[in-house]
Structure formats: C-alpha cells, structure tokens
Amino acid sequence: MRFRLTPRDVTFFDLFAMNAQHLVDGADLLAQLIGAEPPDRPAHAARLREIEQDADDAKGTIMNRLNQTFVTPFDRDDIYTLAAAMDDCIDAMEAAGDIIVRYQIVDLPDGVVTMVATLQRAAELTAAAMPNLRTMTDLKPYWVEINRLESEANRTYRALLAHLFGSPQFQRSPADVVELIKLKDVVDVLEQASDAFERVGSVVQTIYVKET
Amino acid sequence: MRFRLTPRDVTFFDLFAMNAQHLVDGADLLAQLIGAEPPDRPAHAARLREIEQDADDAKGTIMNRLNQTFVTPFDRDDIYTLAAAMDDCIDAMEAAGDIIVRYQIVDLPDGVVTMVATLQRAAELTAAAMPNLRTMTDLKPYWVEINRLESEANRTYRALLAHLFGSPQFQRSPADVVELIKLKDVVDVLEQASDAFERVGSVVQTIYVKET
Amino acid sequence: MRFRLTPRDVTFFDLFAMNAQHLVDGADLLAQLIGAEPPDRPAHAARLREIEQDADDAKGTIMNRLNQTFVTPFDRDDIYTLAAAMDDCIDAMEAAGDIIVRYQIVDLPDGVVTMVATLQRAAELTAAAMPNLRTMTDLKPYWVEINRLESEANRTYRALLAHLFGSPQFQRSPADVVELIKLKDVVDVLEQASDAFERVGSVVQTIYVKET
C-alpha cells in the first residue's frame, strides 16, 4: 500500500522529527550531567526534566493532531506506539539523571559513560531517521544500527554489573552494598533507555513493513 | 468512525465497569493491609488474591465474549489491550500485598502509604470513567488526571527510594541492607501498579482518538 | 473471518514452528547449564548465545517474509507481536545463563532448577502449539496451560525470593548480601522469561479470537 502525502499529513513527520530532537538534547544533557562535578549536576537534572516535559508536550500535540486528522500517513496505532516509545526513551534518560542526583552518587564507573555515549548515538540516529519516514527510504540501515547499538549497550551493561558485583570495593561494609544497589539502579535505567530506543527502531521497521 | 450501540455490545461496557470495580476493591484491600498489624496482614493478602482471581475471571469473560461477538463497540485489539492493562493493575497490587506478607516486612515507610493512596484514587477514577466509554464523553479529564497521578506517584517513588538509600537505618548491618532490598521490591511493584493504571488511561485515550 | 491458506502463507507457520524449536533448545541448554559444574557453564552459555542469535535470524526471516508478502495468514501486527514475544523468551533465557556465568554464581538454589524446568515445559508446549496455528484447532488447551505454568512459576519465584531474603546465609556479611543481589537478578530474569512465554500464549489467543 502506498501512503498519501497531503499538506495536512506532513505535520506528523515534522512532529516526530521535532520530538526526536528532544531525545538528542536529553541524551546530550545526560552526558554533560555525568561528566559534571556533583555540585553542578542538579542544574543539569533540572534542564533534563524540562526537556522531558517538552517531549511530553510534543507527544500531546501528536495525539491532538491524530484526533483531528482523518487521513494520517500511517496506521493510527503505529503513530501512537511510535510516540509512546519515544516518550519511554526520554523518560528513562530523565530518570537516570534524577536518580544520580537524588541518590547523591558521586563516583560513576566508566561503563556508565560508555552506556550514555551509546544513548547519544542512538538519539542522533533516531533524529536522522525520522525525516526519512516521509519518503520511506534509507530506514533499514537505521533500525539495523539501532539494534546493533542495543546489543552493544547490553554487553556493556552486563559487563558493568559483573564488574560491580565482583569488585571488593562494594563488599567492605553495609554502606558499600547500598552504594552498589544505587549504582545498579542507574545502570538498569540506562539499559531501559537503550531498550526504548530499540523499540523506536522496531516501530519504524513495523511501519516500513506495512507501508512498502 | 462512529461506533454502534447494540444490546449485544453493551455488555463490554458492563464487563469493563465490573472489572474496574475489582481494581477499586483491590486498592482498598491493599490500603487496609498496609494499615493493619502484621499478624492481620495474611488474611488481607488472601482476600486480595481472591479479588485478583475474580479479575482474572472477568478478563476471561471479556475474551470469551470477544470471541463470540462479530460486532464489537471498538477495535478488538483495543478491548484486548484494555483488559490486559487492567489485569496488570490488579496483578501488581496483589503482588505488593503478597510480598509484604511473604518477606515479613514489619515497618512500612510513609511513602508506601502515600503511593497506595494514589493507587486508590487511580482505581476510583478508572471505575468512574469506564461507563463513559459507552457515550465517549467526559473521558479526557480522566486520562489527564491519571497521567497527573502517575507523575505524582513517580515523584513519591523516587523521593522514597532516595530516603531509604540515604537513611543510616539501612546501612548498619548486612541484615539492614536486606531489609532495604525487601522494601525496594515493595515500592518497585507499587510503581509498576501506578504505571499500569497510566497504561489503562492511555488505552482509553487511544480508543477515544479512534472512535471520535 | 476465515483465513486463507495459500502455499506462500504456509511458510509463516513453518517459520514460527522452527523459531519455537529454538525456545526448546534454549530452555534445555539453560537446564544443562544450571546442572553443570561451574567450570563447564561458560561453554553452555556460549551455545545458548548461538541459539539466541539463530532465533534472532529466524525473526529477521519472518520480518523479511512479512515485508514481501501481500496476503498473510493473520493480521500483520499479530505476526510481528508473536515474533517479538518469542524473541523476549529466548533473550531472557540467554540473559539468565550469561548472568550466572558472568557473576560467577556457584550455588544455585533449588527454586532456580524448578523455574527452569517450568520454562522447559512452556517451550515444549509452545513448540507443540505452533503447527496448530495452521488449522486453528487445539489452541485453547495450550494457552490455558501456559497461563497455569506462569502462575506456578510466579509462586515459585515469590517463595524463592522470600526464602532468600529470610535465609541467615545472606545476612552474615556484606559479601553475602551481594551474593543475594546476584541471585535475585537471576531469578528476576527467569521470571521475565516466564512472563514472555505467557505473552506468546496471549498473542496466540488474540490471533485465535480474531480468526475464528
């Protein structure tokens, strides 16, 4: 089935491209937050929260538009699922920043930096792919790479947990174990962000499969 | 697309309204359980389990009816997704009660009481909204408020975890850390219940967007 | 709505039946891994990873076929959801094996053996049910039994966690608590595998409800 391109429909592509930019901004802010000195992190977390709220508003605009539009470029369910998956990405990244600040985590292991760098790459790829929904071209390399990045992030995630669990540093005192649990929470939520980016790729693949 | 209202279809609204009542009963029982003295909690957990099974039966009835009905009020997938999301709500609330009893948790922090009160409010809103699916009126205030409640529950959840992680009470001995892990399990499952209520609101929004 | 049976469509059933065999193989390997001496486990984990990659390839084949096929036996979304749910089963089983090896867990409690045996049974039932999608017969006993197995696995899971949390063995030293956290990670991922098998059953039920 070919999809139709009408002036009214075009806005969906624009809205998704704009929303993907929030993911890029969110991932970049999260990278800055973890690279910052602990006293400077709350300010970054506050800005990350604003971006998450902007992304929420963008999702609301997409839903309202969907409500008013009779002819949409794709299946309505897919638009909804895509918006929801993008929401999960920014929610998890915001949660990671908020947790680091609230739990007053000072030292972040290198694996966290690596995982956030992978999220930045996933966000950039997603933002670059969104405009291609208009023409349904060049999308396969995107979801293939997003899948690869998720596998890479998953390996980093497991190696990082194995490292934390095996490190004598977190087994010396009860307080050390609490520190380990806090770090595990951070890396778990980063892994969830990575999974959410993979789901965005999956929805794009589903849309592609149906529309071409 | 307008939906049709036939005597046969009407039962879906009734079934969802009945099922939502199980959520209200479940949330109320969970509130009683956490307010009860520890020796009285197993009896509440057993009743919560019965409600969860009643809700399972109600879901089964919806699925059987769906199987026998050629004309349904909405998209079949949405009916299924709505039933599944409501199931997740009661499952998580039952799990919370069961965990508190099984792990023999005695002291529950105030944040747990707050989270359960939010679940009670979410259940009441959901039960009040279900009959409105018949007329597709007054639904937006419901999903807006459910979203707001979920954000509120999420803030309570994070503040509660930060409080637990920062409290010297859980860092004195290895047994204290185990107590912390047990409490984290309870608040995690309460957060899952809150997420499930938000998903119910999302499905209602999706149905609304399609049907109006 | 009756579904059509054309030579081209038949391959979907074959592909799902083949993919379900990967689940059987994966569950069997996981059972061997946990029954093996710790030094022999990495070899089993490596083979489990290969099976997970074979299952990934099988999913890719299903998606490509879906992309090339105009008339599919069922709703395209359901094929996609079924493939994704099967993927979640093998991913969680692979993760369990990998975690046991990476975290260098030596002693696994009996409940883990029970949970993996339930996964083996779920995988066998799933593999036996897939060919029945062709005729849409004898499917209800499958999803009923899968649901029952999931409830059973869930009871084992909660009892196992209660046992671990209550055991003095994990409260003696900070290192003991870390061992507890590692074991909790294993049983959590086994519970996720069980949930994923239940979702496979749910999708089959959804397909059945629509097609018959």
Q: Where are the domains of chain B?
A: 7-211
Window 70-109 of A, Cβ < 8 Å to B: 76-77, 80, 84, 95, 98-99, 102-104
Interface test with A, best of C57, C67, C192 (most A CBs within 10 A): C67
Structure tokens at B24: 């209200």
pLDDT of residue C70: 66
pLDDT of residue C71: 65
pLDDT of residue C1: 40
- Give the model's confidence band at A10: pLDDT under 50 very low, under 70 low, under 90 confident, else very high: low
3-state helix, strand, coil in chain C (%, to 5): 85, 0, 15
For the residues C4-21, what does the mean pLDDT come to?
72
For the residues B115-129, what does the mean pLDDT come to?
97
Give me the residue from C63, C99, C104 closest to A205, CB to CB: C63
pLDDT of residue B177: 98
Compute the Cα dihedral for A17, A19, A20, A21 and give only its sign: positive
pLDDT of residue A6: 46
**Torsion, Cα of B151, B155, B157, B158 (10° steps):** 130
pLDDT of residue C68: 76
The size of chain C, in residues, is 212
Mean pLDDT of chain A: 91
- Give the model's confidence band at A5: pLDDT under 50 very low, under 70 low, under 90 confident, else very high: very low
Which residues have C-beta within 8 Å of that of residue A66, sequence separation ≥ 6? A72, A76, A79, A80, B209
Give me the residue from A77, A162, A177 closest to C103, CB to CB: A162
Contact, B5 vs B104, CB < 8 A?
Answer: no
Cα–Cα distance measured from residue B206 to residue A128, given in angstroms and rounded to the nearest whole number: 27
pLDDT tens digits along C147-193 = 999 999 999 999 999 999 999 999 999 999 999 999 999 999 999 99
Cα–Cα distance measured from residue B88 to residue B82, given in angstroms and rounded to the nearest whole number: 10
Q: Between these two residues, A64 and A125, which has the higher pLDDT value?
A: A125
Amino acid at B110: D
pLDDT of residue B78: 86
- Which of A60-64, A143-147, C62-66 ranks highest by mean pLDDT? A143-147
A130: pLDDT strictly greater than 70: yes
Closest CA to C92 of C196, C17, C19: C196
Q: Between these two residues, C44 and C61, which has the higher pLDDT value?
A: C44
Cα–Cα distance measured from residue B187 to residue A99, given in angstroms and rounded to the nearest whole number: 15
Cα–Cα distance measured from residue A16 to residue A128, given in angstroms and rounded to the nearest whole number: 11
C38: pLDDT strictly greater than 50: yes
For the residues A192-210, what does the mean pLDDT come to?
92
CB atoms within 10 A of CB B146: 24
Q: What element of type H or E holds B56? A: helix B41-68
Q: Measure Cα distances from C128 to A69, A89, C29, C109, C200 in Å.
A: 45, 37, 19, 30, 13
Q: Cβ C181–A176 below 8 Å, yes or no? A: no
pLDDT of residue C78: 86
Contact, B97 vs B48, CB < 8 A?
Answer: yes
C9: pLDDT strictly greater than 70: no
Cα–Cα distance measured from residue C35 to residue C156, given in angstroms and rounded to the nearest whole number: 18
For the residues A122-128, what does the mean pLDDT come to?
97
Using the Cβ of A181 and the Cβ atoms of chain B, whether some distance falls under 8 Å is answered with yes
Q: Cβ A208–C181 below 8 Å, yes or no? A: no
Give me the residue from A158, A171, A202 closest to C98, CB to CB: A158
B37: pLDDT strictly greater than 90: yes
Mean pLDDT of chain C: 91
Using the Cβ of B178 and the Cβ atoms of chain A, whether some distance falls under 8 Å is answered with no
Closest CA to A189 of A78, A127, A102, A79: A102
Closest CA to A140 of A125, A151, A118: A125
pLDDT of residue A181: 98
Q: Measured between CA atoms, how close is B23 to chain C, in angstroms?
A: 20
Q: Between these two residues, C7 and C132, which has the higher pLDDT value?
A: C132
- Give the model's confidence band at A102: pLDDT under 50 very low, under 70 low, under 90 confident, else very high: very high
Query: Taking CB atoms and an 8 Å cutoff, what residues of chain A touch B161?
Result: 102-103, 185
Window 183-212 of B, Cβ < 8 Å to C: 185
Q: Cβ B181–C176 below 8 Å, yes or no? A: no
For the residues A128-151, what does the mean pLDDT come to?
93
Cα–Cα distance measured from residue C185 to residue C179, given in angstroms and rounded to the nearest whole number: 10
Q: Cβ B103–C172 below 8 Å, yes or no? A: no
Query: Taking CB atoms and an 8 Å cutoff, what residues of chain B touch A67?
Result: 208-209, 212
Question: What CATH code would you report for C7-211?
Answer: 1.20.58.220
Cα–Cα distance measured from residue B12 to residue B61, given in angstroms and rounded to the nearest whole number: 10
A151: pLDDT strictly greater than 80: yes
Structure tokens at A180: 């380990």
Q: Cβ B212–A67 below 8 Å, yes or no? A: yes
- Give the model's confidence band at B4: pLDDT under 50 very low, under 70 low, under 90 confident, else very high: very low
**Torsion, Cα of A181, A183, A189, A191 (10° steps):** -110
Q: Cβ A170–C178 below 8 Å, yes or no? A: yes
pLDDT tens digits along A167-184 = 999 999 999 999 999 999
pLDDT of residue A70: 66
pLDDT of residue C28: 98
B6: pLDDT strictly greater than 50: no
pLDDT of residue C89: 98
Interface test with A, best of C181, C184, C188, C192 (most A CBs within 10 A): C181
Structure tokens at B210: 């399609």
For the residues B21-32, what does the mean pLDDT come to?
98
ipTM score here?
0.90
pLDDT of residue B47: 98
pLDDT of residue B71: 65
Which residues have C-beta within 8 Å of that of residue C34, sequence separation ≥ 6? C100, C108, C112, C113, C116
- Based on the number of CB atoms within 10 Å of its own CB, is B151 exposed (0-12), middle (13-18) or buried (19 or more)? middle
Q: Between these two residues, A133 and B117, which has the higher pLDDT value?
A: B117
pLDDT tens digits along A69-97 = 766 677 778 888 899 999 999 999 999 99
Residue with tokens 């279809």, as numbered in its chain: B9
Give me the residue from A180, A202, A210 closest to C178, CB to CB: A180
B1: pLDDT strictly greater than 60: no
Strands (DSSP E) contained in B33-126 are none
Of C32-41, C78-87, C169-178, which range is least confident? C78-87
Helix (H, G, I), strand (E, B) or coil at B192: helix
pLDDT of residue C73: 73
Compute the Cα dihedral for C157, C160, C165, C169 and give only its sign: negative
Residue with tokens 């920043």, as numbered in its chain: A97
Query: Taking CB atoms and an 8 Å cutoff, what residues of chain B touch C176?
Result: 174
